[in-house]
Structure 1
């Protein structure tokens, strides 16, 4: 058994996912959840565990639930490190370089985070996410933001912003002790997970808020180890024109996202070939 595992949430692009899996599985055990709504048909093999348990939706608490499920499956094997990526990530470093990096940072929890209370504008925006009800894409399209905010202020559905909430990337790289703490906290505090029902972007609050309010706070490094270019509120689909910027800004970034084989497969080919010649 490998001492590091990788958890993957996937929902599209069969060939791209299989390429990622086949590249990583030589040195990592993999736990892959595929959106139940998708027609992707991949079976478990070797040290690759494939699940299709939940329908997952962008920004929805279902992503937290699917992630917790993968954690519960993986923690049975007591790994040293749990790396959480999407099916649209591409490694920027070889498997050995990734393993060596975590060997040098055994006690560090790599996850981006920001306490929402120290910036008024940021606090107001995150409070809107936390307190207004998100009933899906159609609900957001029909009702203007101001209407959704107004609806959320009426009792008994009114919600208030929880204390000490942290916001950050959905993707992280955590030790076994931190993973076990998250599971234990979730089990002992079911209302905390329930609080994120109908919250937009729950996956960007849940794990950070547990860890940064725990004994692990001092070990948390504010870096998710990802190269990402943001396009408004979503990661930009990287293309061949972005290649030089990616290569010039690798630093400690172990992965880059996001990529789509149907938009630009050449950049995917190029980055994997770079890994082969190292």
Structure 2
């Protein structure tokens, strides 16, 4: 059975560290602690005193003053690893943690998981070929020597790079090393850890290289594992659940995240807020529990994105001077039908096709398989269609040789609506309002990935009001879009009401509008 030696790097909150160590060792696992040498001496003394009688706790023999982005973090990790290897010969796995991490599964589950997956778990993507680094420095992290800290010595940090560039003092990566990058939260088998320790004793040149790179905790272990271990024995993922905000900062987890965390396909989570005392207590008790069944739905990151980004509307599609020739044309008229229930809008559009000599397209910006003519490749993917939306519509107008056209949009596409309103062409909008039962909302959440088949009833129940409010907000956004030619129909109206709105929208007489309004089973689910 797996025995885990946790490698804990921490620098604050001694009470939380003591509790964390006692919780993780209560089931027979081990922990090696490195407490930052910059931290208060009294805090370190309190931790050592409180854990002195726990035989499954060890402390790094040498403490390092750590700085974000520095080699000191890797050196501190190695010090704790060396201590753990010597102190805990029965440890089969070594799991990297911070003081903000906590288990979100039972020890029983974690041990069984590691027994069933005889692999090293570490994110490791090719440094130069992957897009793991989204912004900021990339090559510069490696080819220049970094002896100053960007956060505390910013001027010296950038001046040093500038001087090295001017003097041509770049360097090569060690020839036999293919640098990798990934999350610093890994879980490695004992034989892998021992292979790394042997390697760094033999290859001082590799250690010297990484010692002056920037943010080596994202590259050092990731690179050496790939260098030493067959690819078939590496699972390129972290077992620690974490999320990042739009600003690249770790998302902090609180008491009300408990149920969501248990549903994620991970063993640990960070960052747990120091103020989330209830969450810490519940997760600590969970680790020692037995016979707990977990329903893995894994929707945490999707939910976070939905809840934090859904209402952010900027001016991305405001008119730009270089778009003066990208207009649909003053003589053209775009007829937009918006409806959340796509099958309802499609029924109405099909009736329009059958009743009028008017080209109409379904959800061309939402459905990859929406039938479109050959437009030279611009129609092939949703990304291309959206990016070149005005050009796409111009080509459709030209293809049909018409100056009026109907398209369907999901109400969430408010940016597209705004863009078409801002165009020189005339835009008319028919909004189809629908009623949403709880069953429909659950189905909608499944379709868009907010929940999974195994998401607990409690999570779904708490999510429903948010989803309903989000759909209502989409209607408000359409009303606020500033379009004069805007009509709406809803299931609580009569056919006469529908005909009046449809007639005004399509600019047809009453008889034709009634014919279209009498679309069979228009609002049926």
Other-structure match for 1:203: 217
Where structure 2 has 5 or more consecutive residues not aligned to the other structure, the ranges are 293-525
* Structure 1 residue 160, shift from structure 2 partner: 4.1
Q: 1:275 to 1:198 in 2, by over 3 A?
A: same
* Structure 1 residue 274, shift from structure 2 partner: 4.6
Secondary structure at the counterpart of residue 117 of structure 1:
coil
Structure (1/2) with the larger strand percentage: 1
Where structure 1 has 5 or more consecutive residues not aligned to the other structure, the ranges are none
1:127-165 Cα distance to aligned partner (Å, 9 max, x none): 12223425022222x3686x5643331436433455511
Find the aligned partners of 1:4 and 1:149 in 2 and give their Cα distance.
41
Of the three residues 40, 59, 79, the one matched with 1:50 is 59
Find the aligned partners of 1:173 and 1:236 in 2 and give their Cα distance.
21
Q: Which has the larger radius of gyration?
A: 2
Within the alignment, does 1:255 sit opposite 2:271 as a pair?
Answer: no
Find the aligned partners of 2:218 and 2:9 in 1 and give their Cα distance.
14
Relative to the length of structure 2, the TM-score reads: 0.48
Find the aligned partners of 1:148 and 1:236 in 2 and give their Cα distance.
32
Within the alignment, does 1:70 sit opposite 2:80 as a pair?
Answer: yes
Q: 1:35 to 1:247 in 2, by over 3 A?
A: same
Within the alignment, does 1:218 sit opposite 2:228 as a pair?
Answer: no
1:183-211 Cα distance to aligned partner (Å, 9 max, x none): 11101111211112332211110011011
Other-structure match for 2:140: 128
* Structure 1 residue 171, shift from structure 2 partner: 1.6
Find the aligned partners of 1:169 and 1:121 in 2 and give their Cα distance.
10
Find the aligned partners of 2:148 and 2:98 in 1 and give their Cα distance.
24
Find the aligned partners of 1:153 and 1:270 in 2 and give their Cα distance.
52
Relative to the length of structure 1, the TM-score reads: 0.86
Find the aligned partners of 1:65 and 1:108 in 2 and give their Cα distance.
24
Q: 1:153 to 1:171 in 2, by over 3 A?
A: same
Of the three residues 241, 246, 251, the one matched with 1:236 is 251
Other-structure match for 1:16: 16
RMSD: 2.6
Q: Choose between structure 1 and 2 for higher RCO, CA contacts under 8 A separated by at least 6 residues.
A: 1
Within the alignment, does 1:115 sit opposite 2:126 as a pair?
Answer: yes
1:50-102 Cα distance to aligned partner (Å, 9 max, x none): 23621111221011111111221222225211111112101001112111111
Of the three residues 71, 89, 95, the one matched with 1:83 is 95
Deviates more, 1:12-21 or 1:47-56: 47-56
Deviates more, 1:40-49 or 1:87-96: 40-49
Q: State how many pairs are aligned.
A: 271
Q: 2:128·2:139 contact (CA, 8 Å) conserved in 1?
A: no
Find the aligned partners of 2:185 and 2:10 in 1 and give their Cα distance.
13
Other-structure match for 1:102: 114
